Amino acid sequence: MSKGRILVTGGCGYIGSHTIVDLIENGYEVVAVDNLSNADESVLKGIAEITGVNVKNHVVDLAEREATIRLFQEEAFTGVIHFAALKHVGESVDQPIRYYQNNLNSLLNVIEGMQETGCQHLIFSSSCSVYGNTDELPVTEKTPRQSAESPYGRTKQMCEDILFDVCKISPDFQGVLLRYFNPAGAHPSCLIGEAPSNPASNLAPVITETAIGKRKEMMVFGNDYNTSDGSCVRDYIHVVDLAHAHTLALDYLRENRQASNCELFNLGIGTGVSVLEAIHAFEEVTGVRLNYRIGDRRAGDVVAIYANADKAGRELGWQPKYNIKDIMKTAWAWEQKR
C-alpha cells in the first residue's frame, strides 16, 4: 500500500531524480513536474530501470500561476517536495530579476495549488547560502542568517520566510525546510547522475568534465581566502544521502512527529572540504591528474560553510553514509558512462 502520492517539482533534475528513486524504494507513489529548462526527460528511463516504475512528468512552468493551479486540480497529491528553482550563484548576480521572479513565484503558486486542493505536507529545498558569510562554524539551525552573498541566496531566504509566515496562519499546513550544503556524486548504479542541460557550475561535474576532456581546464576561483589552502570551503554531501533525507522528512510529517508545523534541518556531512582538497580527493581515487588553474574570486561566493546536522540525525534518524572520496568515485563512474 502506498504511503502517499507525492509531487516532486524539478523531478527531472539532479537531486529531484535521486529523490524520486528513494521515495519509490520507500513506498511512495511519485509524480514529477519539470519545465526542462535545465534537465531532460531521459532521466526518467534511468529511474524506471532502477525502480521498475515509470514516473510521469508534467512539463509545466511553475512560475505560471494558472498552469500550476490546473496541475494541482487535475491530480491529487498528499505531499510536495519542491526543488524547482534557478540555482546558479554567479548567474543570479547577473540576472537578479529573473531569479526573483522564478524562484518566488514558483513557490507561491505551489503553495496556492496545495491550499486549494487540501494538500498539507511540503518539503522545501533550501540552501546553506541562507547563512551568508557567517563567523560561526559549523552552522546549526540556530545560527543567525547573515546577508546573503547573491540574489540566489536571497531568494532562498525569502522563500523560507514565506513558508514560516504561511505555516504561522495555517495550522494544518505542515512544512519542513531542508538547508543542504553541496550535493555531489551519482547513484551507484550509474543510471542517473548530474547532467545539467546548461554548462555545469557545480564543482563535481566541472572536475569530471575536465578529467574526461570535455573542458580543457578548470578554474579554481581564488586562493587567497582565509582558509587552510586559500580556496573556498564547502560541505559536500552525497546526493543519495541527501535524497534519503527528503523521504525521512515526509515520514516525519506523515507520522506527526514534528514539534511545530514548520521545522528546519541542516543536511551536511559536518566537515569542511576546500576546492583544492576536493580536486586532490578526485585525483587520489581515480588516478587522473586534473588540469586546473587559479583564477580571480567569483562574485557571490561565501568563503567557508559547513554544517552541524545533529538535529536531522536526532529527529529524522538521518545519517550520511558517504564521504568526499565516495562522492568523487561515483561522480567519475557516472561521467565515464554518460
H helices within the chain, ranges in order?
14-25, 43-51, 65-74, 89-94, 96-117, 151-169, 203-212, 239-254, 275-286, 310-311, 324-337
12 to each of 34, 37, 38, 46, 56, how far by Cα in Å?
A: 6, 10, 9, 11, 10
pLDDT per 10-residue tile (average), the chain, 338 residues: 95 97 98 95 97 98 98 97 94 96 98 97 96 91 94 97 96 95 95 84 93 95 95 96 98 94 96 96 97 93 92 97 96 94
Which residues, listed in sequence order, are joined to residue 219 by a DSSP beta bridge? 293
For the chain, the average pLDDT equals: 95
- What Å distances lie between residue 324 and 29, 184, 226, 276, 285, CA to CA? 31, 9, 22, 12, 10
Beta bridge partners of 188: none
Q: What is the pTM of this model?
A: 0.94
As a whole number of angstroms, the distance between CA 213 and CA 180 comes to 30
As annotated, the active-site residues are: 152
At residue 196, the pLDDT reads 73
Residues whose CB falls within 8 Å of the CB of residue 227, separated by 6 or more in sequence, listed in order: 233, 274, 303, 304
pLDDT computed for residue 70 by the predictor: 97
| pLDDT at site 315 | 97
Burial grade of 165 (CB within 10 A; 0-12, 13-18, 19 or more):
exposed
Q: What pLDDT does residue 175 have?
A: 97
Rounded CA-CA distance 210/215 in Å is 5
Tell me, what's the pLDDT at 198? 75
CB 331 within 8 A of CB 258: no
Cell numbers at 157, concatenated: 531566504
Condensed to tens digits (0 to 9), the pLDDT of residues 24-44 reads: 999 999 999 999 999 999 999
Angle CA(299)–CA(304)–CA(310) in degrees, nearest 5? 135
Q: Among residues 241, 211, 239, 231, which one has the least CA distance to residue 295?
A: 231
